[in-house]
Amino acid sequence: ARPIGGLIFGHIGDRRGRKAALMGTLSLMGGATFCMGLLPSYSTAGLLSPLLLVLLRVLQGAAAGGEWGGGVLIITENVPAERRGFLASFSSCGMGLGFVLSSLALWLAEQVSGDGFLAWGWRLPFLASAVIFVVGIYIRRNLGETDGFEAESAKAASAPHSPLREVLRRHPHEVLFAMALRFADSGASYIFMSFSLVYGAYVGISSTVLLWAGIVGMLVDSAMMVVFGRLSDKVGRRPVYLGGAIGMLVWAAPFFLLMDTGHPAAVWAAFIVGHIAIAAMIGVQPSYFSELFSTSTRYSGMALGHELSSAIAGGLSPVVATALLAATGHFLPVALLTMGMAVVTLVALVFFAHVPQAEGAAEPESADTKTEKKEIDASVA
């Protein structure tokens, strides 16, 4: 559902504005999440209960597909180019800290005594999400439209009738490049955050150790996103992203070797180092992706490239990994799968990183370039 949501809200964002799309994604996500806490049990409603759950999950996916691009553009289209990597990385931090909050909410709900968690305790985090929804609506209602979108609207007679068609006509290589960039981080994120729970249970690691390893890993991840975003303003997006993809390629097998020990410290180390590699890519993504597309089609282009990879490399990875583990009983095929996705990203960065950036979104200058320009200016003076 994520690519579908990305296309729908990307169209709204490019035609009517970033703010309108973000109000829609939050309303859809907030409503679906809250309603999960109100679902009837199977004993009460029969098959209607799981059918409603799947429907709500699809609505969540559609909202998530439209949310990322809008959240990124609220920042990247309002900040100076030389600080775009640093400031845009905070949008990625929101996702990381959201994972931490949801994990803590689950842990608190599990503290309900006896059979209370299965009977009603699991509903509490979903119902409590209404607080975040209200705060989010208040913030977004008071946001202005982005400077980039307003400037584009002022100089253009009208927005493209079909931003998606315009993206495919003008930026097909950029869409494919963005998709390839996402293979390493999206695939690894789902392997490390979802499949790792399956593998941890398979090798006998307690759910508590896995939960807290994930929380600590995501806290480190969120902090390092800002560091790598700032670094990308200094040295460029591509070198930082390349380092993250190489880190993922190298760490895929050691991650599972450390988990095999079953020792809590080793499990924590596996998650922390893995998330640092992921942070190098996710922290740079907002600024890198927004610089690939022109303003009039940027929301649709980012959503298309980002969410198609989320569905292919991300959504399918835990399913394929679980099947590989069931068939072989060993982590090696899963590690090779993770390494293969990292290779896709590396090939794109090495051979196809010449994809031109969109007008008005030039890459921040390196220190050498700035020094050279100063020397030229001094000579001219």
Contacts of 212 by beta carbon, 8 Å cutoff, 6+ apart:
268
Q: What is the distance between the alpha carbons of residues 225 and 276, in angstroms, rounded to a whole number?
A: 8
In 192-316, where does DSSP find H-type helix?
A: 196-202, 207-235, 237-261, 264-282, 285-290, 298-309
Looking at the domain 2-380, which fold is it? Growth Hormone; Chain: A; (1.20.1250)
Confidence of residue 338 (pLDDT cuts 50, 70, 90): very high
Q: What is the distance between the alpha carbons of residues 210 and 201, in angstroms, rounded to a whole number?
A: 9
Q: Are 337 and 186 in contact (CB under 8 A)?
A: no
Q: What is the pLDDT of residues 229-268, one digit of tens each?
A: 999 999 999 999 999 999 999 999 999 999 999 999 999 9
Q: What is the distance between the alpha carbons of residues 274 and 256, in angstroms, rounded to a whole number?
A: 11
Question: How would you label 309-318 residue by residue, b for 16+ Cβ within 10 Å and e otherwise?
Answer: bbbbbbbebb
Percent of the chain with pLDDT over 70: 91
Which run of H or of E encompasses 39?
none
Residue 278 is encoded by which pair of tokens?
A: 């992921």
User: CA angle, 295 as apex, 292 and 301 as ends, to 5°?
Assistant: 50
* SS3 call for 93: helix
Q: What is the pLDDT of residues 266-291, one digit of tens each?
A: 999 999 999 999 999 999 999 999 99
CA separation (Å) from 33 to 40, 113, 175, 289, 306?
14, 24, 30, 28, 23
Please tell me the predicted confidence (pLDDT) of residue 376. 41
For residue 260, which amino acid is it?
A: D
* SS3 call for 330: coil
Q: What is the pLDDT of residues 220-230, one digit of tens each?
A: 999 999 999 99
What's the number of CA atoms in the CB half-sphere (13 Å) around residue 340?
A: 10
Greatest C-alpha distance within the chain:
82
